[in-house]
Amino acid sequence: MDLTNRDIVELTDLRRRLHRMPEVSGEEAATAAEVAAMLRAAGPNRVLTGLGGHGVAAVWEGAGPGPTVMFRAELDALPIEEISDAPHRSGMPGKGHLCGHDGHMAILAGLARLVGRRPPARGRVVLMFQPAEEDGSGAAAVIADPRFGGIAPDFAFALHNLPGLPLGAAALAAGHVNCASVGLMIRLSGRTSHASVPEAGVSPAPAVARLIPALAALGPGGALVPGFRLATVTHARLGEPAFGIAPGEAEIRVTLRALTDPDMAALLAQAEALARAEAAAEGLGLGLSRHDAFDACENDAEATAHLARALQAEGVAPADFELPMRASEDFGRFGQRAKAAMMFLGAGERQPMLHNPDYDFPDALIAPGVRIFNRVRRALTG
């Protein structure tokens, strides 16, 4: 079974409609409503809404026993102003589908049509539209939802488009795929004073000056081999933008990244210990908070083999791209509970990069994405 020409036209229209109405992490109410309506039209046994926030899942039950096979797409967009002359450009100021989640949703919408026309003979098929992928909170919230236990998958699959690779080529490998990462916010508090008598206050400036290079030294980057760690200072602020006030407070934001979850935990502990030591040395108050936490993403060998066979059957060319990658992905948490695998479909070698303000998902990837996933689900559920 394959998509008809009418399917492709309608799925392209859906993708562009979603592109015009981007909603950022945690705010995907209208997107979720659009998705839920689309899924109900495909005739699943049930549709679950409000999963872990605005998550939506459609479930098709097979007549015989078999595995539960989940395919995941993401609902959320980015807080970035889109720069585009396309008729379907974002209609929401300061927000845009600049990572391709609109295209991923369109692919699962096409899969829903094919599953609806030929439901599984055994097991279950679950199409999961996950909220809040961009900030790393969505998968954990979905898994924590009590209803997720009733549809917990044995296999989980996902894809992400990847600019820089030839259009339609695929990158896939078993093992480590995406790094773990977490944003650490360090707040230092002292006491302001007049700039003419800085000794009358308690300035965080010396601690900030030492912390920035010390944090970077904890994670020097390099090759993506066991032990890889990277610390990137993304923001620093010291006192007020004035000449008459010696600073009394400061903030540093650093993104920590590692290939494995244990290495990530060790790097985070070292960064927090470093901040505590510097605060104590200068007599400063200290606040630490963690944000945008992503677990490492690792492809299971059996699940990867299912995707590999589907790619081969579809004649998809392998991309010249070495995994793992430094970027993080919230799909990793599903892989802790199921045999999971994610592939990467080339979005074109001249396509603007993900999160660029002029990025737009190539509609030509919708049909092959649907066919690949449909082959996987047919192999596992008939």
Note the pTM of the prediction, 2 decimals. Answer: 0.95
For CA atoms 345, 351, 356, 358, the dihedral sign is negative
Task: Centre a 10 Å sphere on the Cβ of residue 301 and count the other Cβ atoms it contains.
Answer: 11
Q: What fold does the segment set 180-294 form as a domain?
A: Alpha-Beta Plaits (3.30.70)
Q: What angle do the packed helices 5-20 and 101-117 form, to 10 degrees?
A: 140
Name the architecture of domain 5-178+296-381: 3-Layer(aba) Sandwich (3.40)
Reference 142, options 25, 249, 231; nearest CA is 25
Per-residue confidence band for 1, with pLDDT thresholds at 50, 70 and 90: confident
Where do the structural domains in the chain lie, given as residue ranges?
5-178+296-381, 180-294
Backbone torsion region of residue 356, taken as left when φ is above 0, otherwise alpha when ψ lies between -120 and 50, otherwise beta: beta
Q: What is the mean pLDDT of the chain?
A: 97
pLDDT in tens, 57-112: 999 999 999 999 999 999 999 999 999 999 999 999 999 999 999 999 999 999 99
pLDDT in tens, 325-334: 999 999 999 9
